[in-house]
Amino acid sequence: MSTTRTSPLRVATDGWVVAKRNVIKIKRVPEILVFVLLSPIMFVLLFAYVFGGAIDPGAGLDYKEFLIGGIFAQTVVFGATFTGAGLAEDMQKGIIDRFRSLPMSRSAVLVGRTTSDIIYNVLSLAIMALTGLLVGWRAREGVLDTLAGFALLLLFAYAVSWVMGYIGLVVPSVEVINNASFLVIMPLTFVSNAFVPTEDFNSVLRPFVEWNPVSAVTQACRELFGNTSAAVPLPDAWSMQNPVLYTLFWIVGILIVFVPLSVRQYRIASSR
Q: Is the pLDDT of residue 58 over 70?
A: no
Could you report the per-residue pLDDT of 192-244, keeping only the tens digit for each? Answer: 998 888 888 888 999 999 999 999 999 999 999 988 877 677 788 999 999 99
**CB contact burial 123-162 (16+ within 10 A = b; e otherwise):** bbbebbbebbeebebebeeeeeebebbbebbbbbbbbbbb
Measured from the Cβ of residue 234, the count of other Cβ atoms closer than 10 Å reads 14
- How long a stretch of residues is the chain? 272
Q: Is the pLDDT of residue 262 over 80?
A: yes
Q: Give the Cα separation of 183 and 35 in Å (integer).
A: 20
Whole-Å CA distances, 205 to 81, 149, 211, 272:
25, 26, 10, 43
pLDDT confidence of residue 169: 85
Do 141 and 224 touch, CB atoms closer than 8 A?
Answer: yes
DSSP codes joined into one string, 86-154: HHHHHHHHTHHHHHHHSSS-THHHHHHHHHHHHHHHHHHHHHHHHHHHHHT----S-HHHHHHHHHHHH
Do 157 and 117 touch, CB atoms closer than 8 A?
Answer: yes
Do 25 and 32 touch, CB atoms closer than 8 A?
Answer: yes
Q: Of 197, 213, 211, 85, nearest to 153 (Cα)?
A: 213
pLDDT confidence of residue 42: 83
Domain regions of the chain by residue span = 3-270
Helices (H), the chain: 3-6, 8-28, 31-45, 63-79, 81-93, 95-101, 107-135, 143-170, 174-190, 206-211, 213-225, 238-241, 243-270
Could you report the per-residue pLDDT of 121-134, keeping only the tens digit for each? Answer: 888 888 889 988 88
Whole-Å CA distances, 45 to 42, 50, 59, 154:
5, 8, 23, 22
Q: Is the pLDDT of residue 61 over 50?
A: yes
The residue-averaged pLDDT of 189-193 equals 90
* Averaged pLDDT score across all residues of the chain: 82
Q: What percent of the chain has pLDDT over 90?
A: 26
DSSP one-letter code for 56: -
Do 157 and 77 touch, CB atoms closer than 8 A?
Answer: yes
Angle at 159 between CA 212 and CA 239, to 5 degrees: 30
